[in-house]
A and B are shown apart, each in its own frame.
Chain A
Amino acid sequence: MNELITSTANELAEKLSAKEVSSEEVTQAHLDRISEVDEQVHAFLHVNTEEALAVAREVDSIRAAGGDDAAALHPLAGVPIAIKDLIVTVGQPTTAGSRMLEGWMSPYDATVIKKIRAAKLPMLGKTNLDEFAMGSSTEHSAFGPTRNPWDLERIPGGSGGGSAAAVAAFEAPLALGTDTGGSIRQPGAVTGTVGVKPTYGAVSRYGAIAMASSLDQIGPVSRSVLDAALLQELVGGHDPFDSTSLTDSFDTLVSAARNGSVEGLRIGVVKELGGEGFQPGVEARFRDALEMLRGAGAEVVEVSCPNFRYALGAYYLIMPSEVSSNLAKFDGVRYGLRVLPKEGPLTIERVMGATRAAGFGEEAKRRIILGTYALSAGYYDAYYGSAQKVRTLIQRDFDAAFAKADVLISPTAPTTAFRLGEKLDDPLAMYLNDVATIPANLAGVPGLSLPGGLADEDGLPVGIQLLAPAREDARLYKVGAALESLLEAQWGGPLLSKAPVLGAAKTGEVN
Chain B
Amino acid sequence: MAEITRDDVAHLAQLARIEMSAHELDRMAGELAHIVDAVKSVSEVAAPDVPATSHPIALSNVFREDVVGHVLTPDQALSGAPDADDHRFKVPAILDEE
- Name A residues whose Cβ lies closer than 8 Å to a Cβ of B: 104-108, 199-201, 214-215, 240-241, 243-244, 246, 307, 309-310, 312-314, 316-317, 324, 328, 331-338, 340-341, 345-354, 356-357, 360, 365-366, 368-370, 372-373, 376, 382-383, 385-393, 395, 427-428, 431, 441-445, 470
Contact for B47 among A353, A365, A389, CB less than 8 A: A389
Complex: A357 Cα to B21 Cα, angstroms: 9
Please indicate the chain B residues that have their CB under 8 angstroms from the CB of A240 in the complex: 64
**CB-CB under 8 A for A333 and B91, given A104-B80, A313-B42, A389-B51:** yes
| B12 surroundings in chain A (CB, below 8 A) | 369, 372-373, 376
Q: 9 A-B residue contacts at CB 8 Å?
A: A107-B77, A328-B16, A333-B91, A334-B80, A349-B17, A353-B19, A365-B24, A383-B42, A442-B56
Closest B residue, CB atoms, query A242: B62
Within 8 Å CB of B46, what residues of A?
385-387, 389-390
Q: Tell whether B68 is near chain A: CB-to-CB under 8 Å.
A: no
Q: What residue in chain B is nearest A386 (Cβ atoms)?
A: B46
The answer, among B36, B54, B57, for a CB contact under 8 Å with A199, is B57
Taking beta carbons and an 8 Å cutoff, which residues of B are in contact with A?
Answer: 4, 8-9, 12-13, 15-20, 24, 28, 31-32, 34-36, 38-47, 50-57, 59, 62, 64, 70, 72, 76-77, 79-83, 89, 91-98
Shortest Cβ gap from A43 to chain B (Å):
25
Q: Are A393 and B96 in contact (CB under 8 A)?
A: no
A244 CB to nearest B CB, Å? 6
Q: Is the interface of A mostly helix, strand, loop or mixed?
A: helix
Contacts known (A246-B57, A356-B18, A369-B12); A428 close to B38, Cβ less than 8 A: yes
Q: Assuming A199-B57, A345-B93, what are 6 further A-B pairs, CB within 8 angstroms?
A: A243-B59, A246-B59, A370-B36, A383-B36, A388-B52, A443-B56
Check A348–B94 contact: CB distance below 8 A: yes
CA distance A102 to B46 in the complex (A): 41
When distances are taken between beta carbons in the complex, the residues of chain B under 8 Å from A352 are: 17
Q: Which residue of A lies closest to B44 (CB)?
A: A310
Please name the residue on chain A nearest to B38 by beta carbon.
A428
User: Distance (Å) between the CB of B4 and the closest chain A CB?
Assistant: 8
Contact A331 B28 (CB under 8 A): no
Sort A-B residue pairs by CB-CB distance and give the 10 closest, nearest first: A444-B56, A338-B82, A386-B46, A335-B80, A388-B52, A107-B76, A313-B39, A357-B19, A389-B46, A353-B19
The answer to whether B50 touches A383, judged by C-beta atoms less than 8 angstroms apart, is: no
Residues of A with C-beta under 8 A to B51 = 389, 392
Residue from A246, A316, A338, A445 within 8 A of B38 (CB atoms): A316
Contacts of A356 in B (CB 8 A): 16-19
**Which residues of chain A have C-beta atoms less than 8 A from B97's C-beta?**
345
Contact B53 A348 (CB under 8 A): no
A243 to B34, CA, bound (A): 36
By a CB distance below 8 angstroms, the chain A residues around B42 are: 310, 313-314, 317, 383, 386-387, 389-390
Please, which residues of chain A bring their CB within 8 A of the CB of B13?
Answer: 369
- Residues of B with C-beta under 8 A to A376: 12, 15
A427's contact among B20, B35, B53, B98, by CB below 8 Å, is which? Answer: B35
Assuming the contacts A107-B72, A369-B16, asked whether A244 and B59 have C-beta atoms less than 8 A apart, the reply is yes
Residues of A contacting B55 with CB < 8 Å? Answer: 214, 244
Known A-B contacts A243-B59, A389-B50; the reply to A335 vs B18 at CB < 8 A is no
User: How near does chain A come to B73, taking the closest CB pair, in angstroms?
Assistant: 8
Give Cα A191–Cα B14 distance, bound, in whole angstroms. Answer: 40
Is the Cβ of B18 less than 8 Å from the Cβ of A357? yes
Q: Which residues of A contact B19 (CB under 8 A)?
A: 341, 353-354, 356-357
In the complex, chain B residues whose CB is within 8 Å of the CB of A317? 39, 42
Which A residue sits closest to B59, measured CB to CB? A244
Instruction: Indicate which residue in A244, A383, A393, A470 contacts B39 across the interface (CB closer than 8 Å).
Output: A383
Given contacts A310-B41, A310-B45, contact A391 B28 (CB under 8 A): no
Q: Which chain A positions have C-beta within 8 A of B54?
A: 214, 388
For residue A309, which residue of chain B has the nearest CB?
Answer: B41
For A316, A333, A354, the residue with the greatest tally of chain B CB atoms inside 10 Å of its CB is A333
CB atoms of B62 and A243 under 8 A apart: yes
- The 8 Å CB contact of B56, one of A214, A336, A427, is A214
Least Cβ–Cβ distance between B90 and chain A, in angstroms: 9
* A347 CA to B17 CA, complexed, in Å: 12
Q: Which residue of A lies closest to B13 (CB)?
A: A369
Q: What is the CB-to-nearest-CB distance from B97 to chain A, in angstroms, rounded to a whole number?
A: 7
Which A residues are in CB contact (< 8 Å) with B81? 333-335
B26 CB to closest chain A CB, in angstroms? 13
Interfacial chain B residues near A324, Cβ < 8 Å:
16
A373 proximity list for chain B (CB < 8 A): 4, 8, 12, 32, 36
Q: Give chain A nearest CB distance to B3 CB in angstroms.
A: 12
Contacts of B57 in A (CB 8 A): 199-201, 244, 246, 444, 470
Given contacts A351-B92, A388-B54, A444-B56, whether A107 and B80 have CB atoms under 8 Å apart is yes
How distant is the Cα of A351 from the Cα of B43 in the complex, in angstroms? 38
Report the Cα distance A31→B60, complex, angstroms: 45
For B89, list chain A residues within 8 Å (CB): 333-334
